[in-house]
Amino acid sequence: MQTGKITKYTPFQQIDLPDRQWPSRTITHAPIWASVDLRDGNQALATPMNVDEKLEMFELLVGIGFKEIEVGFPSASDTEFNFIRRLVDENRIPEDVTLQVLVQAREHLIRRTFESLQGVSKAIVHLYNSTSPVQRRITFNKSKEEIKAIAIEGTRLVKSLIQTIPDTKIRFQYSPESFSDTEVDYALEVCEAVMAEWQPTERDKIILNLPATVEVATPNVHADQIEWFCRHLKERNKAYISLHTHNDRGTGVAATELGLLAGADRVEGTLFGNGERTGNLDIVTVALNLYTQGVDPLLDFSQLEHIRSVYERITRMTVHDRHPYAGDLVFTAFSGSHQDAIKKGMDLRSVTDTDGIRWEVPYLAIDPEDIGRDYEAIIRINSQSGKGGVAYILERDFGLELPKAMHPDVGLTINSRADQGSRELSPQEVHEVFMQKYVNLSAPLELLSIEREDFAKTGEVKVEAEICIEGETMLVAGTGNGPISAFVNALQIKGWKDFKLLDYRQHSIGGGSKTKAAAYIQIKNDDGTVSFGCGINANIELAGLHALVSAFNRAHPKPSK
């Protein structure tokens, strides 16, 4: 790489548009969507789809709601040609879906393309030729006039061949390939020449597709190109302006969104951005971005995991773990502060009638349920996790509603275990550590059995408990206003009470005959430290007593007899 003054690369020329309007606009409705998975996406695969795989992908795209689907480059290979014929012969094309076919502006390829469309009720013929200075000079060695003539002659041939398939409604799309790297005034000149040849009307518009075949500038420059083109195009009312962004700079989505603000009507792209080099526009991301802004995308991604699984199987591509909306980790929080905030947001929604209420959960731009995902992987636990995440896992997966004061202590314990192994802990492992460190602890003090006696006159309770402490079994007795306070009194009589009972909570786990009680006790020791314990038992009183013993054991690993 060069350093200092870079001479190998130069900035892309800015567009002269001082009164640009797109920065102050808002996207208020979905564009016309066109999937190019079966053509642009397919040609970018190391192992292209066979006909059966293309059929399955076509059905998937139809199910999502695409009404315009570029099914291939029928003049390029027999597989492409035969796929279209199978769609026709097996009557697989829904009435509201229009097939799109791509063809270079070359006579024999155009004629072969029309052969493939026999029997199709409606189709878009997508004609293209390269217009950029680099392509004109290096690839074709032709002048601007010669390049424009290719586009006009190709358009004329397409128009003449419509009569060969009179039962097919043909719409026309033209792309000045590498529009992103073409002088905007020249791109306009070529497109207007094509329009003059085609003679579109307001009712039967031409599609002018302006592809960012290679991203060469920042998204704002792309938006300026689109707005400049829309504002200068004669008979703008007779054309749909279509976008087809690639992702060479990693800003394909942004360029598309700004292009829509700049006046475009239509978007071409693929599922998860599959395409040449760094990929095409990811339609999933743009559509769901609209959805999170309150705009109906008119595409159904409510079963996104299913869509992803079909896509990965057919294309043999893998959706990245951090891919927007679809990645395995996009609804996962490792950071403790994130986990805590997510838990609070989810807790608030769980106790509120949220029907029609705005989605507001920290760190989650979209409700995972809306796209067929669940909360199972929202929070995962490693050494970076916090108190809220651990508490969320224990409550969500195991029904344990830890008191808030207990969260930091449990979080530290779980994180220490994760840190020791330098890895993430599964929810089951989190539960196992909690049970091992806090629940029904039996050393050094173990509660073997207990009997209670109630005194109606005084309201006092007397307990007599059989315990084992450091291997020695004995009986202890005490009184109080309940079994827990009575047992505390028994410990005091033995000289073992050097703590104050701060808090007691309990709740049920499960339902029916298998219901258990979970109890939590917080004690403050004479040295100022705080200890927590949990007890789980079918009997609520025993659960509370086990919680007290567990807290005692955590505070007194070796108590004096």
* DSSP per-residue codes, 457-472: TT--EEEEEEEEETTE
Q: What is the dihedral of CA 354, 360, 365, 366, to 10 degrees?
A: 0
Please write the tens of the pLDDT for every residue from 67-112: 999 999 999 989 999 999 999 999 999 999 999 999 999 999 999 9
Residues 270 and 176 in one domain: yes
Q: Are residues 302 and 229 in the same domain?
A: yes
Q: What pLDDT is recorded for position 415? A: 87
| CA atoms of 388 and 362, how far apart (whole Å) | 13
Assess if residue 560 is contained within a domain: no
Same domain? For 359 and 417 the reply is: yes
Domain-embedded: residue 6: no
Distance, C-alpha 480 to centroid of its chain: 56
On whether both 459 and 419 belong to a single domain, the answer is no
The 8-class DSSP code of residue 18 comes to T
What residues form the annotated binding site for Mg(2+)? Answer: 40, 244, 246, 280
Residue 67: give its domain's CATH number: 3.20.20.70
| Pair 65, 93 in one domain | yes
Q: 392, 410, 437 — which closes off a domain? A: 437
- Three-state DSSP at 125 gives strand
What residues form the annotated binding site? 40, 244, 246, 280
Q: Specify burial of residue 328 (Cβ count, 10 A radius: 0-12, 13-18, 19+).
A: middle
Residues 238 and 368 in one domain: no
What residue ranges of the chain have pLDDT lower than 70? 375-380, 382-386, 558-561
Q: What is the pLDDT of residue 17?
A: 96
Residues 154 and 45 reside in one and the same domain? yes
Quick one: pLDDT at residue 377?
A: 43
In a domain, 37, yes or no: yes
Q: Tell which of 315, 344, 368 closes a domain.
A: 315
Same domain, 267 and 222: yes
| Interacting residues of 509 by C-beta distance below 8 A, sequence separation 6+ | 398, 399, 400, 515, 516, 517, 518, 536
What distance in Å separates the CA atoms of residue 376 and residue 458, rounded to the nearest whole number? 51
Buried b (16+ CB within 10 A) or exposed e, 497-524: bbbeeeebbbeeeeeeeeeebbbbbbbe
pLDDT for 560 equals: 47
- What pLDDT is recorded for position 459? 86
In a domain, residue 527? The reply is yes
- Residue in 266, 205, 188 with CA at minimum distance from that of residue 239: 205
Counting the structural domains of the chain, the total is: 3
Q: Output the DSSP codes for 255-299.
A: HHHHHHHTT--EEEEBGGG--STT-B-BHHHHHHHHHTTT---SS
DSSP secondary-structure letter at 40?
I
Kindly state the helix (H) or strand (E) to which residue 554 belongs, with its residue range. helix 540-555
Per the structure, the complete domain to which residue 377 belongs is given by 336-437
Same domain, 111 and 146: yes
Helices (H), 399-499: 407-421, 427-438, 483-493
Residues 61 and 181 in one domain: yes
Q: Residue 62: how many CA atoms within 13 Å on its side-chain side?
A: 16
Tokens standing for 350? 């769980």
One domain, residues 355 and 401:
yes
The pLDDT score that the predictor gives to residue 386 is 67
Calculate the alpha carbon distances from 308 to 32, 63, 70, 433 in Å.
22, 13, 20, 35
Q: Are both 419 and 541 inside the same structural domain?
A: no
Please name the helix (run of DSSP H) or strand (run of DSSP E) that holds residue 534, with its range, or none: strand 530-537
pLDDT at 376: 52
Look-up of token digits 């870079």 = 6
Residue 526, amino acid: D
Is 21 part of any domain?
no
pLDDT at 558: 63
Determine, yes or no, domain membership for 394: yes
Point out the domain boundary residue: 437, 461, 482. Answer: 437
